[in-house]
Structure 1
Amino acid sequence: MTKGREQNAAGNEHEGKGVESRSTAAGTGPSSASPRAPSHAERARTLARAARFGSLATMARDPEGFPYASLVALATDARGRAVLLLSRLAEHTQNLLARPEASVLLLESPIVGEKLLEHGRVTLIGACTAVPPEEAPECRALFLAAHPDAATYADFSDFSYYRIEPRSLRYVGGFGRMSWVDAAAYARAEPDPLAAFAPRILEHMNDDHAASILAYARKLAGIGDATDAQMTGVDRYGIEMAVTTPSGERRVRLAFDAEIVTREEARKALIEMAGRAEEG
């Protein structure tokens, strides 16, 4: 399958099999048009912004031509490029000096639970080269903001800043949600503004408002035989749930009526959805 075939005619990446899209406005049943969801470019940018470590793959010098993977600290800049502070003595740096072709695997944060393959990850593929001297101060500030402890060695003479310029990206958001992402689309995409609050929102809703989530599933998603439901995701456009039924688990997405930007807006939207579910 070519990269282009994993995107639809509008250029939006597919969300994968098994995720049902629902409208909260109608109260039941699928919407006539699928509710908006983050594109894979947006999901990749959101994931990359939060990443602080990654697995860097370089082309080994010995044995020549084989991938060499190592753990590195990193930060991402305003265009989603990975910025690394590398020692010239490190094996991966020596590999890069010989050949700049590289990739870095970034994992969704926080990395918790046993089902790691259900978590998001993105691989940035491109040339990893030393940052020009005039751009080093900006990279230094960016990197130290993400890794304050690096200040103890950041100015050592053998350390320099490197940056991966993505040429292509592979995004995987769990089973059935994956695609190649265009580098230009990735650079243009905006990270989700709720990402920093999402874990707390999910914990609060699942721990304290389980009845409301079940009502979302039964009334807003139209799954009348739902016996349990858990919120598994929240973003600027809506929420996602894992819904338990007698016939098995179903994954459902519900859209907000409007794009959400702040934590307070998310709280109000979830309360409004609960009110509609109770009326249904």
Structure 2
Amino acid sequence: MAEGTLATHSREPSGFPYPTALPFALTANHMPMLLVSHLAEHTRNLQADPRAGFLVAHPAEGGVLEGQRLTMLGHFAPASAQDSVPLARRYLRYHPEAGRYLELGDFSFWVMSLTRMRYIGGFGAMGWLAGPDLESLEPLSYDEELLLCEYSEKYPGRPANLKLLGIDRYGVDLLHEGRRNRFTFDKPKLSTEELRAALIDCFERQR
């Protein structure tokens, strides 16, 4: 998923929800990160009140109500200068066209910290997640993920039209013939060796 809907608290007119569509990527901790302009209305709203909602939806043939949706509630905060470097590198793998915005100097990264999530998997399949319900596995560091991405580029069995965008302990994000998709592992991978084996399995399944 590359795009979502950010809902902030409007400054003017006060008290109204202010939704806007934005591209996003996930941090190593699986938190939504946004690249936003300092001049944008939603950025100014977050500066005044960091509480926000963020919606991602998976399109379905039967219509939006048949698809999977996830509404996240929490707070957004600007990333530090130190954190922005690895965030930018990861974000640009998913959105390479965003490089021109970073060159302008007016854009910065904001990262969401989650309070609650509402998942809807289709009619009658829904529920809230919060706190202890969220997974607590140690995420991959930027360097660990980068090494795995480099490994995938050099692996001779990788299909030529397949690009690895990102990897975590639960699966990989792929770009295949211009389309993004997610390959989910059968179970979380706790070691580098397990992740490499899972990558090879993923590539073999895509052939």
Q: Report deviation, 1:105.
A: 0.2
* Structure 1: stretches of 5+ with no match in the other structure: 1-50, 198-233, 238-260, 268-280
Paired residue type of 1:193: G
- 1:81/1:264 Cα in 2 relative to 1: closer, same or farther (>3 Å)? closer
Residue number in structure 1 paired with 2:146: none
Matches within 5 A, 1:116-131: 116-131=64-79
CA deviation profile, 1:187-211 (whole Å, cap 9, x unmatched): 43677538869xxxxxxxxxxxxxx
Equivalent residue of 1:65, what SS?
coil
Larger RCO (CA under 8 A, 6+ residues apart): 1
1:134 to 82, 92, 101: 82
Residue number in structure 1 paired with 2:44: 94
1:171 to 108, 112, 119: 119
Q: Report deviation, 1:183.
A: 4.0
Residue 81 (str. 1) matches residue 31 (str. 2): yes
Residue number in structure 1 paired with 2:149: none
CA distance in structure 2 between the partners assigned to 1:87 and 1:175 by the alignment: 37
CA deviation profile, 1:193-246 (whole Å, cap 9, x unmatched): 38869xxxxxxxxxxxxxxxxxxxxxxxxxxxxxxxxxxxx9738xxxxxxxxx
- 1:75/1:182 Cα in 2 relative to 1: closer, same or farther (>3 Å)? same
2:186 to 221, 229, 236: 236
1:71 to 21, 42, 45: 21
**For the pair shown, which has the larger CA radius of gyration, 1 or 2?**
1
Matches within 5 A, 1:176-187: 176-187=124-135
Residue 54 (str. 1) matches residue 4 (str. 2): yes
Q: Report deviation, 1:132.
A: 1.2
Residue number in structure 2 paired with 1:144: 92
Instruction: Give the conservation status (yes or no) of the 8 Å contact 1:172–1:178.
Output: yes
Instruction: Give the conservation status (yes or no) of the 8 Å contact 1:195–1:235.
Output: no
CA distance in structure 2 between the partners assigned to 1:194 and 1:150 by the alignment: 21
Q: Which structure: greater strand fraction?
A: 2
- 1:194/1:152 Cα in 2 relative to 1: closer, same or farther (>3 Å)? closer
Q: Report deviation, 1:120.
A: 0.8
Number of residues of Structure 1 aligned to a counterpart in Structure 2? 156
Residue number in structure 1 paired with 2:181: none
Residue number in structure 2 paired with 1:258: none
Residue number in structure 1 paired with 2:54: 104
Residue number in structure 2 paired with 1:220: none
- 1:142/1:65 Cα in 2 relative to 1: closer, same or farther (>3 Å)? same
Q: Report deviation, 1:123.
A: 1.2
CA distance in structure 1 between the partners assigned to 2:204 and 2:101 by the alignment: 42
CA distance in structure 1 between the partners assigned to 2:101 and 2:171 by the alignment: 32
Matches within 5 A, 1:227-266: 236=186, 262-263=201-202
CA distance in structure 2 between the partners assigned to 1:113 and 1:74 by the alignment: 23
CA deviation profile, 1:12-47 (whole Å, cap 9, x unmatched): xxxxxxxxxxxxxxxxxxxxxxxxxxxxxxxxxxxx
Instruction: Give the conservation status (yes or no) of the 8 Å contact 1:80–1:186.
Output: no
Matches within 5 A, 1:268-279: none
Residue number in structure 2 paired with 1:158: 106
CA deviation profile, 1:63-105 (whole Å, cap 9, x unmatched): 1111100011110012110010000111100101111011110
User: What TM-score results when the alignment is normalised by the length of structure 2?
Assistant: 0.66
